[in-house]
């Protein structure tokens, strides 16, 4: 489990394709404190540490993960939002995030709004019904609050601090992003749809 509060910007330093795809990610994390098999959210995808060095760790992604997330677009040098798994007693600054990406969204527009930037995203119709004004959504692993929803397009404001400590400062319209809908929205929808036989 995660909170959607990004704690480092990593960089893809190597990619090896052999069966599954192996990524090495450079990071400022204290690697001795990360166990083999630990979970790290990489742009919102919960992935398992399979190897590590002094300033990098490796993860492995299946063809399914590559096809359903932005990982299939990663190249050497791609910046990555990173978050280590939540520990009991940690501050819950964002919202409960599982690290299981529900689908891809697209940045429709980026507009300055005060000191912040207003990002608008388009998502598949099957995800749009889970996104509500003032609700939470995780985009590329970042916990964000939804401002408005119009059909399958919604907007969020991203403050300068978040732009500076995540990959959001370098994002452009047309880019794909990983979307994880709010877990509560998922279960409420399931409860309202379920009809016992």
Predicted confidence at residue 89, as pLDDT, reads: 79
Is residue 128 domain-shared with residue 174, that is, in the same domain?
yes
How many Cα atoms sit within 13 Å of 157 on the Cβ side?
A: 11
3-state secondary structure of 147: coil
153 domain residue, yes or no: yes
Is the residue at 33 inside a domain? yes
**Domain end position, chosen among 84, 118, 135:** 84
Percent composition of the chain: helix, strand, coil (DSSP 3-state, to 5):
20, 40, 40
| Contact in structure between 120 and 154 (CB atoms under 8 Å) | yes
Q: 35, 55, 84: which is the final residue of a domain?
A: 84
Q: For residue 183, is it within any domain?
A: yes
In the prediction, which pLDDT does 94 show?
A: 81
What is the predicted pLDDT for the residue at 187?
Answer: 75
Query: What is the predicted pLDDT for the residue at 189?
Result: 74
Task: Identify whether 96 is part of a domain.
Answer: no
Q: Is residue 32 part of a domain?
A: yes
CA pair distance 128, 151, nearest whole angstrom = 7
Per run of 10 residues, the mean pLDDT along the chain (length 197 residues) is 95 94 98 96 98 97 94 97 90 85 97 96 94 95 96 97 96 97 79 75
Residue range of the domain that includes 45: 8-84
User: Are 181 and 133 members of one domain?
Assistant: yes
Do 111 and 189 lie in a common domain?
A: yes
The answer to whether residues 107 and 79 belong to one domain is no
Nearest partner of 70 among 36, 47, 38, judged by Cα: 47
Residue 183: per-residue pLDDT? 81
**Residue 164 and residue 107 share a domain:** yes
Residues 71 and 123 in one domain: no
User: Pick from 1, 4, 2: which is nearest to 138 by CA?
Assistant: 4
Is residue 157 domain-shared with residue 126, that is, in the same domain? yes
What b/e readout covers 36-48, taking b as 16+ CB neighbours within 10 angstroms? eeebbbbbbbbbe
Enumerate helices (H) and strands (E) in the chain, giving the number of each.
Answer: 4, 14
The CATH number for 183's domain is: 2.40.30.20
pLDDT of residue 190: 72
Within-domain flag for 91: no
Mapped to the 3 state alphabet, what secondary structure does 39-56 carry? EEEECCEEEECCEECCCE
pLDDT at 85: 94
CB 85 within 8 Å of CB 61: no
Into how many domains does the chain fold? 2
Q: Which two tokens stand for residue 189?
A: 């929808």
Q: Which two tokens stand for residue 132?
A: 């509500």
């Amino acid at each position: 489990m995660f909170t959607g509060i990004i704690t480092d910007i990593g960089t893809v330093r190597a990619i090896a394709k052999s069966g599954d795809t192996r990524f090495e990610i450079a990071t400022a994390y204290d690697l001795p404190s990360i166990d083999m098999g630990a979970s790290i959210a990489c742009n919102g995808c919960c992935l398992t540490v399979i190897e590590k060095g002094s300033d990098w760790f490796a993860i492995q992604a299946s063809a399914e993960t590559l096809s359903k997330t932005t990982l299939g677009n990663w190249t050497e040098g791609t910046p990555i939002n990173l978050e280590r798994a939540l520990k009991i007693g940690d501050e819950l600054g964002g919202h409960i995030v599982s690290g299981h990406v529900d689908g891809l969204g697209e940045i429709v527009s980026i507009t300055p709004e005060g000191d912040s930037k207003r990002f608008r995203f388009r998502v598949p119709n099957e995800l749009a019904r889970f996104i509500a004004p003032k609700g939470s959504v995780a985009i590329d692993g970042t916990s964000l609050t939804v401002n408005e929803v119009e059909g399958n397009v919604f907007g969020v404001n991203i403050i300068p601090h978040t732009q500076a400590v995540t990959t959001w400062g370098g994002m452009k319209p047309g880019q794909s992003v990983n979307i994880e809908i709010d877990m509560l929205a998922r279960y409420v929808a399931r409860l309202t749809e379920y009809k016992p036989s």
